[in-house]
Amino acid sequence: MLSTFTIILPIFALIFAGWLARRTGVLGPGATTELNRFVVYLALPALLFDIVAHTRWSDVWQPGFILAFGLGSTLVFCLTVFVRLHRPRHLADAAIDGLNAGYANTGFIGFPLVFLTLGQEALAPTMIATIITVCLLFAVAIILIETGLQSERRPAHLFMKVGASLGRNPLLVAPVLGAIVPLAGLSVPAPAESFLKLLGGAASPCALVALGLFLAAKRERQGQDISGAALLVGFKLVLQPIATWVLATTVFGLSPLLAHTAVLLAALPTGTGPFMLAEFYGREAGVTSNVVLASTIASVLTISFYLAWAA
């Protein structure tokens, strides 16, 4: 448990840094939105481009692992959207809730935790899970959000409006452009690679600081969806790893290393991606911030329990 906590501790430190900066007045009330826009328009697109541009098929082609982890995330995402729509809830908010339940923090927690517990051999599957989470699952959520926000009822016009919005979205454009690099047999020039590393490296820390800024803002407690947040945390920390374990061991018969990697990554807490989207699209981010914070704290216990059980 101590090793898990030492990996998660920097996340709490960054969130607290944002909270303290807002409460002491170092950063003003508009800092949350502006910092989040920096992440969405600059830092995260650079990170996505960098990940995809350096992806090689020989490293990521693990069909069983892709299906086990991908289907586990997708099942939880779809179930959450279905449940939240019957609340009833707006499609854009339901899509963000789907990310809350299915978007594992593979980038910020996954790599160090997997390396510490499973070793170097598990890092390639971790990269696969990161691509599935940060690129594919993220893209599906953005499509649903854009669809939900359009008022056009005619299918052809709705399709054109959604397509135009997606074509201007940096979080989708960046990985598509990044995919051209390996497909064309090209390599990223050294100066451009340094630029991408520097800018992309700011994505996770800035998103966590922005989360702390948001948590520091004084909001009405009345009307907060505590039960909804608890449901999403349960889906993320319990349902997703169980679904992934069944798929990995029973359906696809993965090796012990790949199966443990898939389940461990599925058991990670919610990343900051849903919070970024909630802020970017101007949706209510209270549930999302509560889920990110609560799942991160609770995951110290759930991940430690899984590691003890797996051992």
Higher pLDDT, 221 or 102: 102
The answer on pLDDT for 153 being more than 70 is no
Q: Give the least confident one: 92-96, 109-113, 144-148, 286-290.
A: 109-113
Higher pLDDT, 81 or 156: 81
**Residue 54: which pLDDT band, with cuts at 50, 70 and 90?**
confident
Mean pLDDT over residues 228-252, rounded?
95
Higher pLDDT, 161 or 19: 19
Specify the 3-state DSSP secondary structure of 252.
coil
Domain spans of the chain, in order of start = 2-310
b/e per residue 238-266 (b: at least 16 CB within 10 A): ebbbebbbebbbeebebeeebbbbbbbbb
Mean pLDDT over residues 294-302, rounded?
88
Specify the 3-state DSSP secondary structure of 188.
coil
- In the chain, % of residues over pLDDT 90: 33
Mean pLDDT over residues 53-70, rounded?
84
Q: What is the mean pLDDT of the chain?
A: 85
The matching CATH number, chosen from 3.40.120.10, 3.30.2290.10, 1.20.1530.20, 3.40.50.12780, for 2-310 is 1.20.1530.20
Mean pLDDT over residues 195-203, rounded?
90
Burial class of residue 136, CB neighbours in 10 A (0-12, 13-18, 19+): middle
The answer on pLDDT for 59 being more than 90 is no
pTM of this structure: 0.78
**Residue 222: which pLDDT band, with cuts at 50, 70 and 90?**
very low
